[in-house]
């Protein structure tokens, strides 16, 4: 069974979801892919895992680095799971690029090359945002792209972690005709 509860963050409402194993979802309300893995049948009730996730968020949004991680149970393909495990290793307040993650995976699997775009797809479909820190992944040129919660929230999360923002920029959207 999946259980859900709401969390009011300084950046907007968050929906949390967990099963008996761990947190399966953490979404800003209204974000891209919002609750797309949430089963129709779920119970609105705070469980110990959800309470632990809320405690983690309280510490995080206070501007401190949490010294614990709630139990996690993100649902996804083996490739996505590998990418999400790498995301969990990005230190608080630091960033990496899609290409660097692709390089790590290529090396791990004895490949010459791994697609940064494939990595971007896995990062973008991270269902447990913030705790699995997809906001810490940036473009190789310093572009702040690819955050399902919105670029404004990505910037605010990085600023909250006191990340050096001087090397980053928000790309201008091109007009589509």
Is-catalytic flag, 5?
A: no
Q: How many helices (H) and strands (E) does the chain have?
A: 5, 6
Could you give the CA distance from residue 62 to residue 10 in angstroms, rounded to a whole number?
Answer: 10
Residue 5, strand partner residues: 16
Token representation of residue 142: 């310093």
Could you give the CA distance from residue 89 to residue 158 in angstroms, rounded to a whole number?
Answer: 16
Identify the active-site residue in 134, 148, 158, 160. Answer: 134
Token representation of residue 63: 């501007």
Query: Taking the CA of residue 153 as centre, how many other CA atoms within 13 Å lie in the half-sphere pointing to its CB?
Result: 23
Token representation of residue 120: 């971007």
The residues assigned a catalytic role are: 134
């Amino acid at each position: 069974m999946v259980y859900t509860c709401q969390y009011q963050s300084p950046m907007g409402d968050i929906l949390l979801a967990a099963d008996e194993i761990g947190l399966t979802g953490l979404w800003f309300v209204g974000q891209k892919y919002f609750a797309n893995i949430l089963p129709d049948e779920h119970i609105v009730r705070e469980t110990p895992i959800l309470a632990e996730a809320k405690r983690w968020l309280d510490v995080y949004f206070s501007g401190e680095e949490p010294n614990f991680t709630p139990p996690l149970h993100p649902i996804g393909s083996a490739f996505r799971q590998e990418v999400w495990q790498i995301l969990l290793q990005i230190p608080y307040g630091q960033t990496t690029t899609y290409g660097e993650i692709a390089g790590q995976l290529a090396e791990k699997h004895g490949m010459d090359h791994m697609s940064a775009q494939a990595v971007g797809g896995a990062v973008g479909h991270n269902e447990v945002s913030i705790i699995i820190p997809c906001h810490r992944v940036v473009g190789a040129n310093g572009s702040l792209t690819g955050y399902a919660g919105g670029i404004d929230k990505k910037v605010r999360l990085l600023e909250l972690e006191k990340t050096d923002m001087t090397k980053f920029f928000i790309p201008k959207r091109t007009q589509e005709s």
